[in-house]
Amino acid sequence: MSATNRVARLASRALVALGGQDWRTFLQGLVTQDVETLRPGEQRFGALLTPQGRLLFDLFIVGREDGCWVDCAAERRTALIQRLAIYRLRAKVTLEADDTPVLAAWGGDEPPPGAGWALDPRLPALGWRGYGAAAESDAAEADHDAHRLALGVPGPADWADEATYPIEANFDLLNGIDFRKGCFVGQETTSRMKRRGQVRSRMLPLVLDGPAPASGLEVLAGALRAGEVLSGGEGRAMALLRLDRIEGAQLTADGRPVRVERPDWMASSGA
């Protein structure tokens, strides 16, 4: 008997609808993901960076017949529209807020019935994302966050505005950066970090007893600072960690022992 999906409405996410004859070339020169080959119904994960290569907006780009949806943090949708408008110049592009609901489904062998669903482009184990899909929610967004954290995938709560490089947040391992696509905002720094192996820190899940330490608390390797806690739940946390200080080290956070748990998808990438 096949497993049944859980479905949650992602109220923390909102859509911007892009259209107009230049929407592809406009977006292609801005974001970390290739959109020239994006097909209707297909979803891709990416980001809009600062010119210095730091993470500004995490995005899911959803192909449509006459343009695309850009799925972003709901609280930052207006800021995203304003930022895109700065780059628009003379391009024939329309930018509009769209209140089509964003949903997630996970735990089943197939997506829920109906149109609007596609596999989460970051990792198949995350399940499906749906846009305007007709499905009744039976779970909370917090349940979906717990599922994501259990898989060791960072989320928006783990990156502060303009403070994180996308490779530190594992965008390169979660299909969030296309290094073959050509220019995008912040490309020089991003490509250099990847090409030269200058990835000193990454977001990794921690396993511990009890509730996660508060965000911002230090992770220590003995007396040395090895990183900081970002977000978490019962028994697990996400942390930004110095890779050169965690191998074989006894780690603590908030005075409690913690253990790094590298997810299978990260281990298979060689990171």
Residue 253 lies in a domain: yes
Residue 73 is predicted with a pLDDT of 97
CATH number reported for the structural domain that contains residue 245 in this entry = 2.40.30.110
pTM of the predicted model over 0.85: yes
Integer Cα distance of 101 and 97 in angstroms? 12
CATH number reported for the structural domain that contains residue 70 in this entry = 3.30.1360.120
One domain, residues 23 and 144: yes
Residue 46 lies in a domain: yes
One domain, residues 150 and 21: yes
One domain, residues 229 and 116: no
Residue 195 lies in a domain: no
List pLDDT tens digits, range 64-113: 999 999 999 999 999 999 999 999 989 999 999 999 999 999 999 999 98
**Which uninterrupted H or E stretch holds 176?**
none
DSSP 115: S
Domain extent, residue 224, equals 200-267
Residue 163 lies in a domain: no
Residue 15 lies in a domain: yes
Residue 175 lies in a domain: no
Structural domain tally of the chain? 2
Of the given ranges (44-48, 59-63, 138-142, 264-268), which has the lowest mean pLDDT?
Answer: 264-268
Residue 172 lies in a domain: no
Integer Cα distance of 218 and 209 in angstroms? 17
Please give the share of the chain, as a percent, with pLDDT higher than 90: 86
Integer Cα distance of 61 and 151 in angstroms? 22
One domain, residues 205 and 151: no
One domain, residues 141 and 41: yes
Residue 164 lies in a domain: no
Q: Where are the alpha helices (DSSP H) in 89-175?
A: 141-150
One domain, residues 45 and 146: yes
List pLDDT tens digits, range 127-138: 999 998 777 889
